[in-house]
Amino acid sequence: MPLAHVFKFTSLWILGMESRRFSGIWFPRSIVSGVTLSLLLVCVMTGVITYGVHRLINTAITTAIKSEAIQEANKWAKYINATSPDLSKMLDDGTLTPEQSEIVQAAIDYNNVYSFMIFDLQGRLIFESDEGVLVDPRNQAFSEEAQGVIQSGEPNVSLIERQSYSTLPDVFINALVPVYGTNDKMIGAIHLFMDKSDQAALFHQFLNWLGNLLPILCALLYSIPSLAFVLKREQSNAKTRHVNHLSRFDHLTGALNRHTMSAEAKKRFALCPANEHIGVMFLDIDKFKTINDENGHEFGDACLHNVASILMGNVRATDLVGRMGGDEFVVAMPDTTHEELERIGKRMLSDARKPFEYKGRTIRSSISIGYRLSPNGETPQTALHCADLALYHAKANGRDAMVEYFPELDVALNRRREIEATMREALVNKRFETVFQPITNPKDNSVIGFEALLRLTSESGEQIPPTEFIPIAEETGLIHELGLQTLRNAIKTALNWPSHVFLSVNMSPRQFDRDDLIEKISAILTELNFPAHRLELEVTESLLMENELRVSEHLADLRHLGISIAMDDFGTGYSSLGYLWKYEFNKLKIDKVFLEGYDFDGERYREIIETIVVLGHKMGMQVTIEGVEDERHTDMLQSLGCDQYQGFLFGKPMAAVETLDVPWGHAKTA
C-alpha cells in the first residue's frame, strides 16, 4: 500500500473517531482519544518502517543487479574470447573479419546486451557497437575509466534507472570489465550496456507486494495490542473515575457525600465576599423510618433518590446539595437572599408532597426544612448547627414545614442537653421516681387500680415535667431502658396491693420499634411473678400511625400474654374508629380536655362524652374518663355510665408507700 494511501486511510479513520459515533454507538471521549493517538502512531511507524524497508530493498536490488551484471559481463567477455580466437589481434589491429563481425553480432544478442565498447590495454576505444564502424586507436583519446579497470583488474559497474521510453530500457547496467586472453593474460576491457528491466521489474513487483503487505502487518502487529492497551487503560481509567466519583458523590442519590459537601461548603464560606450571604438548608424526610419499615428498604432507597432529585432540580447551578447520612440532606446556596431561600424551599416542600410511585406502590410523603441565612464571617459549622436547630423545631411543630433559625433555639438546645445529661445520670443511679395516681370505681369511689407516672428531679432540685423529658428520651433512644426500668419498679410496688387491683403503665411508640419488646416484658412478669391480667399498658393513637404491621403484631402478642391494652388520650388525635375495630382494645380512656371543655360549655361537651362512652361500650370496651376534679363532674358523669374515674378529686399522683393507705375496693369493679 502506498504511503499516501496509509495517511488517507488514517485521516478518514480519525475523522470518524472525532465524531465519536460508529454504527449508532457512542464511545467515551477518552477511548476516542486513545484510539486516535494509537492510529497516529501506527501511521507514523508504518510510514517509517515502509520507507526504511523500501530503502533497504532498493539497495538490495541495486546490489543484486550489479553483482549479477558483473557475473554476466565476465561471462560475456569470456564468451567473446572463447568464440573469437583472434580477439587479441582484433584489439591490436582494430579490424574485424566477416567471421568476427558475426561473432560480435551474436554477442550483442547474448544476455540482453544493449551495446558495448572494446578498449585495448592502453584504454583506447577500438570498437563501439552503436556505430558499427571501426575506430583507429591511434586517433582515440584514452578512457580514464577503462584505464582504471585495466590497471586494477576490478570491474566498474553502475545501475541507471530512468523513465520508460520506446527505444530505451527502464533499467540498465553500465559495466566496464577487464578482458583476458586464452592464456589468462589481460588484453583489454569491454564496456557493456546491459538491459536489466525484466530483472528489475521482478524485484519491484516483490517490493510493491511487500509494500502493500507491510503496512497491514505493522497495523496488525502494533494496532491490535495498542488498541487492547487503550481499552485496558480505559477500563482502568473508568475504575479510577468511578472511585473518584464514589469519593465525591453519594452512590445512592447522586448528591455530594458528607466529606465532599463539608469540604466544598468550607471553600464557599472562605471565598464569600463581604457583601454576600450564604444560605444553608438542613432537611430530612418526615417519618422516613416508617416508610422504610412499611415498604421495604428498596422502596426507601428509591424515595431517597426521589427527594435528592427534587432538591437538585430546584437549586441553582452554583449551589451545593449533599447527603449527610440516612435521610438527612444539606443545601448550600452562595450569594443568595432571604426571599430566594424561602422561594426555593417552598418549591421543594411542594414537590415533596406530590405522590411518589415505585414499582406499583404509591405513597405521599413530605420533608421538613430548617434554614439559616449566614452572615459574612460565620463558619459553615455554625451555619449548619443553626439550620439543624431550625429543622428540629420544624419537626417538633408538626413537620412538612420550613423554619428559619432564631436565637431562642439555642436556648432550647442547651436546655435539651441539660435534660439529656440529667436523664442519663438518673438512669445510671436509678433516680427516676415512679408515682401512682388512683383509678376508682364510680359506685363507691374505691381504688381499683393505679396509673404509674414518671417524675424526674435534677440535681439542683428542679422538677422536670414528663412532657419535656419523655420526647428527649424518645429521640435519644433512652426510652427503651427507661420504659423497662419503670415497668419493673411499678410492678415491684404493685406486688404489695390487693390481687384485684391493676397496674396501668404508659408505653411510648418508640418502645415498639424493638423486636424484643414482648420478650422483655414477659421476662419481667415471670421474674417478679406478677399476673399478666393485672397489667394494663396504655398506648396513644400516634403509635397506631407509625407502623401498622409491627404494632399489630406486638399488640396481639401482648394480649396473648393476658395483658390488657388501653387507648389513652382518646379524642385528642385522629380518633379513628378503624383503630378501635382493628386492634381490639380492652379500654378506652377519655382525655381530660373534654371535662375541661365541660366547665365552660357543659351541654355540648356532655353530649360528646356520652357519645364516646356509648361507642366504647358498643365495642366491648371499658371506659375511663380522666380529669375528674370536682363533684360537679361526678354528678354529670353518673348518668353516662363511665366504668372508671381518674382525677385529682380521688387523689393526686402519690409515692409508692402512700398507695398502701388508699380505700381498697372489692374484686368486682363494675
Q: What is the DSSP string of 133-144?
A: EE--GGGSPBPH
Residue range 89-97: mean pLDDT, rounded: 62
With a pLDDT cut of 90, the percent of the chain lying above it is 44
Per-state percent for the chain, helix, strand, coil, to nearest 5: 55, 20, 25
Mean of pLDDT values over 403-425: 91
* Residue 436 grid cell: 401512682
Give the pLDDT band of residue 451 (cuts 50, 70, 90): very high
Q: What is the pLDDT of residue 185?
A: 81
How is residue 474 written as a grid cell?
Answer: 424518645
pLDDT the model gives residue 95: 60
Please give the Cα distance from 17 to 253 (Å, whole number): 34
- Per-position b or e across 48-63, b if 16+ CB within 10 A of its CB: ebbeeebeebeeebbe
Mean pLDDT on 19-28: 40
Cα angle 152-157-160, degrees, rounded to a multiple of 5: 155
- pLDDT above 90 for 595: yes
> 571 in the Ramachandran plot: left (φ > 0), alpha (ψ -120 to 50) or beta?
left
The one-letter code for the residue type at 432 is F
- pLDDT of amino acid 3: 43
Among residues 430, 417, 422, the alpha carbon closest in space to that of 482 is found at 430
pLDDT digits 0-9 by tens, 144-153: 888 888 888 8
51-60, 431-440, 478-487, 556-565: least confident range: 51-60
pLDDT of residue 9: 42
Nearest 10 degrees: Cα torsion 388, 393, 398, 404:
-80
Over the range 88-126, which residues count as b (16 or more CB within 10 Å of their CB) and which as e? bebbeebebeeebeebbeebbeeebbbebbbbbbebbbb
Residues 339-367 have a mean pLDDT of 94
In the numeric block, which cell numbers belong to residue 615? 361507642
Mean of per-residue pLDDT scores for the chain: 82
**pLDDT, position 68:** 72
The pLDDT of residue 123 is 84
User: Count of alpha carbons within 13 Å of 481, Cβ hemisphere only?
Assistant: 14
> What length does the chain have?
670
Q: Is the pLDDT assigned to residue 101 strictly greater than 90?
A: no
Task: Judge whether residue 137 has pLDDT over 70.
Answer: no
Q: Return the pLDDT at 625.
A: 95
**558 vs 581: CA distance, rounded Å:** 17
479 neighbors 511 (Cβ within 8 angstroms): yes
pLDDT at residue 286, rounded to an integer: 93
Retrieve residue 646's grid coordinates. Answer: 381518674
Could you give the CA distance from residue 455 to residue 451 in angstroms, rounded to a whole number? 13
How confident is the model at residue 382, as a pLDDT?
Answer: 92
* Average pLDDT of the segment spanning 559-585: 81
Per-residue pLDDT at 18 = 39
Least confident of 223-227, 324-328, 459-463: 223-227
User: Higher-confidence residue: 660 or 669?
Assistant: 660
Give the per-residue pLDDT at 1.
45
Indicate the helix (H) or strand (E) that contains 280: strand 278-285
CA angle 104, 109, 111 (to 5 degrees): 115
What's the confidence (pLDDT) of residue 223? 64
Instruction: With beta carbons less than 8 A apart as the criterion, state whether 356 and 299 touch.
Output: no
Q: How confident is the model at residue 26 (pLDDT cuts 50, 70, 90)?
A: very low
Distance, CA of 196 to chain centre: 72
178 pLDDT higher than 80: yes
CA neighbor of 573 nearest in space, from 402, 398, 451, 439: 398
- pLDDT category at 239 given cuts 50, 70, 90 is confident
Q: Are strands 113-119 and 25-26 parallel, antiparallel or unpaired?
A: unpaired
CA distance 159 to 161: 7
The DSSP call for residue 291 is H
Residue 302 has pLDDT above 80, yes or no: yes
The confidence score (pLDDT) of residue 155 equals: 84
Beta-strand runs (E) in 336-491: 356-358, 361-363, 367-374, 402-404, 433-440, 447-457, 463-464
Whether pLDDT at 331 is above 90: yes
Q: How do residues 455-478 score in pLDDT, each as one tens digit?
A: 999 988 899 999 999 989 998 899
Least Cα distance to 278 among 391, 386, 166, 151 occurs for 386
Compute the half-sphere exposure of residue 341: CA atoms within 13 Å on the CB side of its CA: 25
Distance CA 285, CA 305 (A): 11
**In contact, 94 and 136? CB cutoff 8 Å:** yes
Q: Which of 1, 179, 207 is nearest to 80 (CA)?
A: 179
pLDDT recorded at residue 8 = 42
**The dihedral sign for the CA sequence 403, 404, 408, 410:** positive
71: cell is 557475473
| Number of Cβ atoms within 10 Å of the Cβ of 487 | 25
Cα separation, 429 vs 452, in Å, equals 20
Q: Which of 189, 193, 187 is nearest to 119 (CA)?
A: 189
Q: Give me the pLDDT at residue 16, please.
A: 42
Lowest mean pLDDT among 91-105, 127-141, 433-447: 127-141
The average pLDDT across 653-667 equals 87
Q: Quote the cell numbers at residue 456.
A: 424526674
The three grid cell numbers given for residue 194, joined into one nine-digit string: 546491459
Tens of pLDDT, residue by residue over 241-278, are: 666 666 788 889 999 999 999 999 999 998 888 888 99
405 contacts 387 by C-beta, under 8 angstroms? yes
Rounded mean pLDDT, 170-184: 78
Mean local confidence (pLDDT), 629-644: 91
Distance of CA 583 to the CA centre of its chain: 45
Cα separations in angstroms, 219 against 56, 214, 233, 345, 511: 20, 8, 19, 60, 73
